Structure 1
């Protein structure tokens, strides 16, 4: 039962997205009921996720869905184009860096995956250097500026089609984010000691294929699975 305090509260409740309320109802009668004890244990004991996933905020590439993980397994950071900025202790606001710091220093996570995906809107924006800002703040333009040098080189290549440019930068962005992860002392020190592993992966929305980055060469290939 929902108790409402006045007409304005009712207006707020009644405007909540119906699809989400329906989804919540299904969650409570399905998954939550089946995993009730697990949720209670997580609430009492706290979370101990085994992997930090830095993914894109694109609605089509949710890490928990792609990897079929349950509650408490993944610590997920999502932003436009799954980017990791370089280490910059400058006193400004750094959401991704803060989440990384918490995952490594507080949760003691020792596996980090940068998950990119096909048809990424952020990557498309990075390649369209002449596009007008979506707002006066140009937040996406500034954020995607992290890839500006690579995007410019790819854009200038007349040998590539637009699709090939998109595909290439999606992979390069993953390698770029992993390189930036290593600028964080808390990551670099642990990796040098063999206590931290950094991984890259790319998910093809249209086919469901997952491509994993070779940590030595930077190349991407499909892992051998029973579905391959």
Structure 2
């Protein structure tokens, strides 16, 4: 693979700094994680967005969270069709093998994937409509929910509402997985819907009684 290149120097320097400080000071903990395996208490499904840093938000250490990231923190419906399903495979492993107690879906403000879906629904993104657009076809998961926010005239308000709908759509799709529905029913697994404001550092959770998001 002659096309693979060495790491850029700034990343090498950062790694060496981490190895000399954080790792060195916690060597026994890292070795314990390696020998005893992982036992995360929670799984987080969040967006790929580089501004969303799940472990920082919750002050989590290595071994605490089983994390899966994709465009717009979406979960597809249960479809055991034999094709490649990275998100579904990750969820299956977390719930059936790692036995996580909590599964959180974390949406966020200024989500580019959600905005792309809005643009598609408004006919403003022909490039995402193409069959070969991976992003466009992935956002088709959320697309049916656009009717819930289509009447909101303010663009920013509409985007934030749709970002929250992406969380709710994923929660609903999670319950189509038989092993998740079973775990929720027996009380061994709890689902949580969250949304974070990047600029303000705010965090909201979905309140099932109020049927709305509320500050944490």
> More displaced, 77-86 or 29-38?
29-38
Contact 1:175–1:218 at 8 Å: present in 2 too?
Answer: no
> More displaced, 131-140 or 180-189?
131-140
> What pairs up with 1:1-228 in 2 under 5 angstroms?
12-13=5-6, 16-129=7-120, 130=123, 131-133=125-127, 137-155=132-150, 157=151, 159-223=152-216
Relative distance call for 1:146 and 1:136 in structure 2 (3 A) is closer
- TM-score normalised by length of structure 2: 0.92
Q: What's the C-alpha RMSD, in Å, of the aligned pairs?
A: 1.7
Contact 2:44–2:106 at 8 Å: present in 1 too?
Answer: yes
- Shift in Å at residue 153 of structure 1? 4.5
- Shift in Å at residue 31 of structure 1? 1.5
C-alpha distance in 2, partners of 1:220/1:149?
Answer: 20
C-alpha distance in 1, partners of 2:166/2:5?
Answer: 40
Q: Which runs of 5+ in 2 are unaligned?
A: none
Q: After the TM superposition, which parts of structure 1 deviate over 6 Å for at least 4 consecutive aligned residues?
A: none
Equivalent residue number for residue 226 of structure 1: none
- Shift in Å at residue 36 of structure 1? 1.2
- TM-score normalised by length of structure 1: 0.87
Contact 1:115–1:202 at 8 Å: present in 2 too?
Answer: yes
> More displaced, 89-98 or 143-152?
143-152
C-alpha distance in 2, partners of 1:164/1:30?
Answer: 44
